[in-house]
Amino acid sequence: MKEQAPGLNVELIVSKDGIPVLQRELTSSELVVGDDLLLEDDIEVRLHWSKGWWVTARVGELRLDGELCPRDIPQSFGPDHRLSIGKYALTMQRFVRRGTSDRSLSAMPRQDALRVTVVGRSTHWFGAKERVVIGSSPKADVPVSEAALKHAELRFDGTQWWAEDIGGSSRLLVDGKPMGFGGARLGHGGTMQVAGVALKYERCVDERFEGLFGDSEAVQTLRQNLGEACEASCILLLAEPGLHLETIARAVHAASATYSQGKYGRINCGDLGTTLESELCGHVKGAFTGAGKGREGLLQLCRGGTVFLDSVQNFPPSAQARLLRILQERAYRKVGDHREIPFHSQIIAAAPPMAELERAIEQGIIRRDFLGRLASEYTVVVPPLRARENDGVTWARRRLAQRVAEAPRLTLEPDAEEAIRNADWPRNFHDLDHVLDRLCLENEQTVPRRVTAAELGLVERAEVGEAQRIEDALRACGGNRRAAARNLGLSPRTMDRRIVQFELQSVVEEARRFADIKSQARMQQVIRETKGDKEAAAKMLGLQPETLQAQAGEALLQEREKHQREALEKAWSEAGGNVSAAARRLGLPRKTTENRLRKYGLKI
């Protein structure tokens, strides 16, 4: 009996003439292509596991990434490699959904898969179809007897699922709203109503990251990005405080087929100070005062696994160059030792959003090349709580339900839920947890009741957050109220009311003045670049020449004269004071050259 290879979580995909024909999960430590996996009589290739996958050619010509492999000599093989054997190609990928050992690719659940449930009747899963028909026809993909033969259609456009009415007498409702012209986009989960029959739909998500909290589209996108990045050797997480980054790092470690075999370790770069390098790389006996014995660092303890560097912006500048070299060479030295030790661990670094990092770079707190190396493979932006739609409300409901033993059953009024959605939450879940904990401590009565936004203390917080968003939009649009309203999804009348309510009139004027200054500065720059050429400058600015002449006629004239004088002085000097020679250099008539020499006060 073949030895089980635990935790491999990979599948072998076989393609013939570029078309996938078979997919098999690798559950044992050895597989013979041509014997266990029948392809052709003249092909025999052995795959075996020994601290990694190896491939050996026995019969037939085997090419690994285009290079001919010598016979009977094992070659390293993994998800980044491609095997070619005659007209067959073999690739390896991480295994996400566990099913039967052999299966057709058309039955594989994919990231764009959709599950449709007719409430109380049946559930249907669609993984490879681009169009799904709902109706009473026997050939309908989702049978609904009350509907027309072909009532509605769900289609996949490569990135999103859409619902479209194709012949029903009653309108299709998506998430409680009548579908508009051109169809309706399906989110990651919701309801539909076809001929009075309720249906539920659910987009496929990466099951490896189902432990991450949230059902919003922002979190679904985060799961997808993490799934793509989890095999990278270096990942940079950009996030605000309070977003449970260690939970994300642990999920990435567990999802990785390569690095989940090793241990997981974490270092907070802001807590350790001067001992950070010793904690990461280890030290030998006598390396520094107090080093009575040697110690292994986290890179050694987590070899083949994952090291999470939290708050990497606090890494001491003096040590950033050394860590940069470690990341580039994939080898490190213990403190006090000269020997280099290779490592194959995954590095996950957490840092604040890019705007804050740019300020840190300008202040010399963090090196640009160090940050660039951390971000060179994968950078994943973790969405803040305010961008997660209803996730904050769901979190609050769960937290209050968990605190029943300490406080009475508290539920949220609609205005409290709306306030939670609109609040800014600078420290995200930390701030929300603080508000909820305070609420539970202040309520000692035994009668369950509903909580308002005022009791949460979020009325003023929500207004401050909305005022800041409106101010940011106005500044980004140069004080243009209509453009700012359009960007925020508000009507112009609502924007005007908000500007008066939050006293942002001065912001509008300041943004307009700043936009005018920027516009003038840009105009002056273009005029200088085109040397006062009105036609060329107008084209670069996207203006009519007459409009530019009216706005900057004096500047155009001054720039032209400046350019003319410089060209005339240069030609006059190179011609040695000879008017005819200077005229030839300038491509001008002699008389015109004489007039310009007199105009600019040059001697003839």
Confidence of residue 106 (pLDDT cuts 50, 70, 90): very low
C-alpha 291/C-alpha 272 separation (Å) is: 16
For residue 518, the model assigns a pLDDT of 62
Strands 114-118 and 53-59: unpaired
Looking at residues 286-315, what average pLDDT do you find?
84
Instruction: Kindly report the CATH class assigned to 112-203.
Output: mainly beta
For residue 210, the model assigns a pLDDT of 62
Instruction: Kindly report the CATH class assigned to 217-381.
Output: alpha beta
pLDDT one-digit tens code per residue, 120-150: 776 676 654 567 888 888 777 788 877 777 7
Q: Which residue has the tokens 């799904």?
A: 132
Rounded to 5°, the CA angle 290-294-295 comes to 100
**In contact, 563 and 531? CB cutoff 8 Å:** yes
Torsion over CA: 69, 74, 75, 77 (sign): positive
Looking at residues 473-480, what average pLDDT do you find?
81
Say yes or no to pLDDT of 546 above 70.
yes
For residue 126, the model assigns a pLDDT of 65
pLDDT one-digit tens code per residue, 1-53: 333 343 345 667 777 665 555 666 665 667 776 654 545 546 677 777 765 67
Q: What is the pTM of this model?
A: 0.50
Confidence of residue 517 (pLDDT cuts 50, 70, 90): low
C-alpha 203/C-alpha 163 separation (Å) is: 13
CATH 1.10.8.60 assigned to domain 385-457? The reply is yes
Q: What is the dihedral of CA 462, 467, 470, 475, to 10 degrees?
A: -140
Mean pLDDT score across all residues of the chain: 76
For residue 348, the model assigns a pLDDT of 94
* Secondary structure (H, E, C), 313-368: HHCCHHHHHHHHHHHHHCEEECECCCCEEECCCEEEEEECCHHHHHHHHHCCCCCH
For residue 407, the model assigns a pLDDT of 56
Q: What is the CATH number of domain 10-104?
A: 2.60.200.20
Q: What is the CA radius of gyration of the chain?
A: 34
- Highest-scoring range by mean pLDDT, 79-93, 121-135, 295-309, 514-528: 295-309
Which of 177-181, 198-202, 337-341, 597-601 is the least confident region? 177-181
pLDDT one-digit tens code per residue, 206-220: 556 766 888 787 888
